[in-house]
Structure 1
């Protein structure tokens, strides 16, 4: 409802509205596809300010959105004619190196968390782009480099300070509001507004990092070798792949510059001196066109992908969980690479399991924990006139793989989904439990501007 319909409402002076210079910056998010204009933006530095924003939205009859890092590909942080609750002022991270825990504000980026933890030789397993928001990543799961070694980000959520729909503030722990904590571990972000995450930390040291590049013509043979190698990796090794256009870095052969190619990268998280023994054999037997071998800090590793996903570009992503990397699946990967409409796009895949699959399934709301592989088709482009082909390509790529996939999808990569898709992804039992939590904490479905789980009917 337009704010002009409520002339008696007093808007806090520090809130932003159309016409203010800071409003234009604050409403922008990472995915440039989503050019939306909220009625108000409420920067919040503590839970009390979040509660105040919720009360104001109720009086003004405004729907709300919540911005943590603003990195969600579906653009759920911002919507037209709503009140955006902006958590970006909450970026403080406090580390207890003895207890190996961190408390991180709801607006933190992964870079904030890593900057605070890595000087202590510690890290919380998280995503692979440092300007990703911690909140959205955690609430939807949290794949990353350390996932096979230590598990998902949501697996490391020990407690959460949450502002509920009625403005009250609770601390969800294993002993108090444990049902809410369970839902926050991978159930998505529509149960309340998390203003502080308490996270378990893990030891990290220097990383042995080994990348090989292969011409697209060799990709199916190399993928067959990866299929044999990946399940036998020790949990301290994570080997990921991407089909994308090769850049012009010195180590990449000139004949591959600008052409679609297969990249495989292995990161070893044990003693770095032992890394070559775990990675060289695979690369030696698959004959890459070139390799790049480095030893780097975990913080360096976490920032490697930043330049490839700049804010303001247009993005559309679809994912699925192939049951196996069969020759048919590998052929579908290659076909998708050949059809990429933008040279900025990529097909990413990796073998999962390891520590991800070792946590009891009932301990978190995260679905598809036992999936062996994940496949992600990620479009990236800059020209709005090219929206149609770049949105169609990930959809087509996933549809082609559908017969070989488990039916799930990564929650953090969902867009506007068909009715019943969220139920399909979580499964009936888990979805029923999530809906019950939703009814207990948000019975009026205030938090619904995302991949929504509705409360159970009365």
Structure 2
């Protein structure tokens, strides 16, 4: 598995090449009384692609992508990685908003939301699902569109892998060109001032900009001062997605206010941008991630963020944060199952290590980093990053009202909860919600 923390043994692995084979496997699993998991890229930190004594449907052989550049549409099979999609679309000067590591599976990312470099400009990956070929748990194959199985399509846009096995996505594309990319590094003693500059800059940035931050242990790179190597540092990065000629003037204010100790400036293709994070998350390492939405990034929050960074133990671990909104919030809430569109910030403590003996302490650091900011949590969770089970399960993720609608759709398409080894939405008769939980 990608995350070596999880060591699970399915009863059967079925490597399918089309929807008909997926249908046969689902029919077999039902008749044998076995649960089902689905592997697209296998990149989920909670390891939901694999469970003990279940049937794992492995879609990794289904990676074909075709592009209609005139219609700005791509059709991508359910086992595609983001790099497969980018390789097909970028020669046409087009892209679908997606994640930031190119060996991530498209299916899991898209069904759970899909933040990335283009999200502020054009929205989430799930917002771009125009249609989907879905093999339902009873083995039937349907095409979900706005006019046919519209409720199912709504649920697929953020509701996770609860409703069927998606064997083909039809995705809307947008024009994309060269990206102006700049990163600055700061010693931890200067991080508070840099965070104040980031907050002012990010909350007023154009939708053509996406500025992100990360605390990590500095590595030996030519643009990072040697005195910072091996120490916790703050990195601020801005990517300008508009006309490259406007990139310098758009990005400069961030680094003019808080001058970094070192900086890296370059212009790159979108495909290069998408691959920047690939080396940082190799398969077979050990990972534990906790995340939250933050309501603000004021001085008190910044102080605690710096404290969390000073506690980083593994040289591979990091803390990521970013200001969201932009086009994410422009999509009406009722257009998709995705919750939390209005959240201002996302904050993620990603523990990453190699030694199994460090499992407990690394997970504890991640949990502690999120708990330290608990009074500034915006509420809700990003389903693709959920590793600890929330107190109320998926109700905590989606809120009671949205969860109720999803549970009704689940009852229609998977009444026996065959697809339950995930961030599960139980069929409506099994849902348990109280009046106090309503309205979230």
Equivalent position SS for 1:451: coil
CA–CA separation in structure 1 for the residues paired with 2:282 and 2:121: 28
Task: Establish whether residue 132 from structure 1 lines up as the match of residue 110 from structure 2.
Answer: no
Any unmatched runs of 5+ in structure 1?
1-28
Task: Establish whether residue 422 from structure 1 lines up as the match of residue 394 from structure 2.
Answer: yes
After TM superposition, the structure 1 = structure 2 runs for residues 258-337 of structure 1, keeping only pairs within 5 Å, are 258-337=230-309
Number of the residue aligned with 2:6 = 34
Over residues 53-80 of structure 1, what are the superposed CA-to-partner deviations in whole Å (9 max), with x where a residue is unaligned? 1122123222111101100000000111
Of residues 69, 89, 98, the one that matches 1:97 is 69
Of residues 162, 165, 169, the one that matches 2:141 is 169
Number of the residue aligned with 2:23 = 51
Deviation at 1:117, TM superposition (A): 0.3
Over residues 302-323 of structure 1, what are the superposed CA-to-partner deviations in whole Å (9 max), with x where a residue is unaligned? 0000001111100111111110
Task: Establish whether residue 119 from structure 1 lines up as the match of residue 84 from structure 2.
Answer: no
Number of the residue aligned with 1:383 = 355
Number of the residue aligned with 1:4 = none
Residue range with higher mean Cα deviation, 276-285 or 86-95? 276-285
Deviation at 1:418, TM superposition (A): 3.6
Runs of at least 4 residues of structure 1 off by over 4 A? none
Deviation at 1:381, TM superposition (A): 0.3
Equivalent position SS for 1:232: coil
CA–CA separation in structure 1 for the residues paired with 2:397 and 2:372: 18
The answer to whether the 8 Å contact 2:191/2:306 transfers is yes
The answer to whether the 8 Å contact 1:416/1:451 transfers is no
Deviation at 1:332, TM superposition (A): 1.4
Of residues 393, 411, 421, the one that matches 2:365 is 393
Deviation at 1:428, TM superposition (A): 1.3
Deviation at 1:425, TM superposition (A): 2.1
Residue range with higher mean Cα deviation, 325-334 or 203-212? 325-334
CA–CA separation in structure 2 for the residues paired with 1:64 and 1:409: 24
Residue range with higher mean Cα deviation, 334-343 or 417-426? 417-426
Number of the residue aligned with 2:346 = 374
Task: Establish whether residue 194 from structure 1 lines up as the match of residue 166 from structure 2.
Answer: yes
Deviation at 1:328, TM superposition (A): 1.3
TM-score, with length taken from structure 1: 0.93
Number of the residue aligned with 1:406 = 378
Equivalent position SS for 2:373: helix
Number of the residue aligned with 2:79 = 107
Number of the residue aligned with 1:16 = none
CA–CA separation in structure 1 for the residues paired with 2:267 and 2:44: 31
Number of the residue aligned with 2:435 = none
Over residues 132-159 of structure 1, what are the superposed CA-to-partner deviations in whole Å (9 max), with x where a residue is unaligned? 0000000100000000011100000100
CA–CA separation in structure 1 for the residues paired with 2:425 and 2:316: 33
CA–CA separation in structure 1 for the residues paired with 2:33 and 2:346: 41
Number of the residue aligned with 1:238 = 210
The answer to whether the 8 Å contact 2:203/2:323 transfers is yes
The answer to whether the 8 Å contact 2:30/2:418 transfers is no
Over residues 391-431 of structure 1, what are the superposed CA-to-partner deviations in whole Å (9 max), with x where a residue is unaligned? 11111111111111112111100124144142122111111
CA–CA separation in structure 2 for the residues paired with 1:401 and 1:425: 18
Number of the residue aligned with 1:160 = 132
Deviation at 1:244, TM superposition (A): 0.4
CA–CA separation in structure 1 for the residues paired with 2:14 and 2:392: 33
Over residues 8-31 of structure 1, what are the superposed CA-to-partner deviations in whole Å (9 max), with x where a residue is unaligned? xxxxxxxxxxxxxxxxxxxxx211
CA–CA separation in structure 1 for the residues paired with 2:299 and 2:45: 30
The answer to whether the 8 Å contact 1:341/1:389 transfers is no
Residue range with higher mean Cα deviation, 49-58 or 191-200? 49-58
Of residues 430, 449, 455, the one that matches 2:421 is 449
CA–CA separation in structure 1 for the residues paired with 2:30 and 2:158: 28
- Structure ranking higher on relative contact order (CA contacts 8 Å, 6+ apart): 2
After TM superposition, the structure 1 = structure 2 runs for residues 339-350 of structure 1, keeping only pairs within 5 Å, are 339-350=311-322
Equivalent position SS for 1:436: helix
CA–CA separation in structure 1 for the residues paired with 2:366 and 2:17: 38
The answer to whether the 8 Å contact 2:27/2:137 transfers is no
CA–CA separation in structure 2 for the residues paired with 1:68 and 1:84: 10
The answer to whether the 8 Å contact 1:139/1:188 transfers is yes
Number of the residue aligned with 2:35 = 63
Equivalent position SS for 2:215: strand
CA RMSD between the two structures: 0.9
Equivalent position SS for 1:132: coil
